[in-house]
Structure 1
Amino acid sequence: MDPSASPLELAVALLRIPSITPRDEGCQLLIGSFLQQLGFTLYPLRFGNVDNLYARLGSKGKNFCFAGHTDVVTPGEESRWQTPPFAAAIVDGMLIGRGANDMKGGVAAMLAATARFLQANPNFAQHNSLSFLITGDEEGAAVDGTVKVLEWLRQRQESIDYCLVGEPTCMQQLGDGLKQGRRGSLNAELIFQGRQGHVAYPHLADNPIHRAAPLLDRLARHRFDEGNAHFPPTTLQMTRIQAGDGSDNVIPGSLRLNFNFRFGTASTPAQLEEQIHNILAEADPPLPYTLTTHLSGRPFLTEGGELLQALSNSIRTVLDISANPNTAGGTSDARFISLDCPQTVEFGLFSPTIHQVNERVPVDELERLCQVYTHLLLTLFPAL
């Protein structure tokens, strides 16, 4: 791919590659070829069955990192797509394809912005560094992607000073929102133990559904915290309840419940678990249970700093809009990067169609996002 390629040309090339998690199918080869022509040193990193790419230009000063992912979710019902999901067709000014928003459009804008920045600042690598951290594991289990690359960087004693994650962040129009943090995610499985028996002889059994029902109601209604200035109150959402084998005449012996917490900095995972135990202790008589949890990401928050200030200024200058720094939405790989790089923010495209049929992005927004990224780099690293 020519280093002078537009963000649209880059996006089309990436969208035509069916890189459904965890298959990369050549996306990172395309990105690597582009960056190599700009002088970057490439480090292809495969962990498990996941392809990742770290690329760096320069070895001095501050290291600014663009982070993102090339994997996409499945297209779903392909017959419902206006055009084939990997055709990257342009219809009425819209680029349609799986990954247009999430997040090949953002990656394309990063690449094009990097080329423009280096053309405007040819001596950059003599004083500072630019890097790309691209994974193929963001939409999947997220265990062999960014986490492993960060471990590899630590072993090399290589640090990231600024990181911009190009996930879609805007809610109503391009530029109206950026993520200065994200809520944490805690998954839990709760198993209540009863005693199996015949439905005609309930006195000889102990029905865990009946006994757990009031406890589940208390869990659903419980206020775990009040949130704070940057994060809303913690939420608990039950995602699965299972009991019995479908027999109409058997009282089940156990009930399995799965749920998820989305939480900010007002509570820790340990505090949330403690509150669960306190609620379950209210059962009279006691209902035996086991609780297991898995922390998939801690909350992070970037308050102030050069990157946040420069990004806000670039959005205002290029798009003539004041971005709202917020922490809403799901998780992203920023939750891992922020542990090593306190100045981590997210800014990307308007995102109404992510993961949907006919995912799409206005063609002109790819160019405008590229301009914001270019302005940001020139703000942080003026040409010398």
Structure 2
Amino acid sequence: MRQHNHITLGIGAVAGALAISASAGATEQASSAVAFSGGYTVDVAGVVSGGLAKRGRVLDDLQIGADVDLEKAIGWKGARAHALLLNNSGGMPNDDAGTLQGVNNIEVSRQRARLFEAWVEQGFGDKASVLVGLYDLNSEFYANDSAGLLLAPAFGIGSELAATGPNGPSIFPSTALSARVRWTPNEHVYVQAAAINAHAGVLGDPGGVCTEFEHGLLTIAEAGWQGRGKVAFGAWRYTKKQPDLRDVTAAGYPAAKTAQGAYLLLERQLSGQDEDAARKTTAFARLGLSDGDTTAFRGGWQAGLLVERVFESRPDSAFSIGVNQAFLTGKFRANTLDEGQDLTRAESAIEVTYSDKIGPVTIQPDLQYVRNPGADRGVGHALVATVRFGVAF
């Protein structure tokens, strides 16, 4: 019942945008000012061998979005608005795999509806913009487009950043109030920075949108070059110190340390420069590091290949392979050793996936092999099989 109320709130916000559009002019103008989109994804996933348990899970993700051209709607020059609703339900396959980084990028710990994004962006010519609202950090920062087909969460954003903050940074499935600026002096170079409430929370989460900043801000900046590839460097830092994983004060409280890190993104198109070319191949690689005091992950890396239009006769066919490795901090390992658990230094995984479209439905079989799930020597290497079904509307 509570989920239905949040869906009504989110749809009400979109309906409000439509009402504003209608009041600005004719019905035809309003309809051209608003674009709706959506998609529904269902995953059937299970641990085939190793891990903590062998069984199947079903989980899903429903997204409904609206984009409003505010110039067409109400005459607000150079501005646009965006809203996105999520509803996630079903099982949690990582409970069976037992990994530290996860095996499925639509898995959530709380199954419910959420207003995931709601922001307004003001453009200044074609070179600069400012965005304010509930914003997905990973939509623009620490992202390789060519890694997007892979299902493992590590290929979305580095675990050393994803595991920070009181309840995670402003990424799926909960965002936070944010302000982002972006400058593109030419078609190849960009610079962007954001200040984000360190406490993520949206309508649908306990407490709803967090309007207080008692945990400070997550600040992040990224600069890069894009062309037939991408080279980018980013750095992030929390303005309020975080509890140290192991060190304590004289009074016995966790010592306060600065949570911070940096990352490097690389991407290169290897073949298929033409849009309609068969076997367009792109390689990607990433490296991230953290302070090692406030998060379980000292850093990690990911690398892989994306092949689009694998078969010339099937324009929607795509294949991807990726490897990732996350390194644990010495303090985290020392804490677990105190509890009688001797962890390895890293958790590693390889993923292979293929996607194609049959009619309106996208079908994507996927295999992941995780070495030392949870970095636990006592857990067998996990083989996780998934079939993803998706439809866009």
**Structure with greater Cα Rg:** 1
TM-score range, shorter chain: under 0.3
Structure with more contact order per residue of length (Cα contacts < 8 Å, sep ≥ 6): 1
User: TM-score with structure 1 length normalisation?
Assistant: 0.26
User: TM-score with structure 2 length normalisation?
Assistant: 0.26
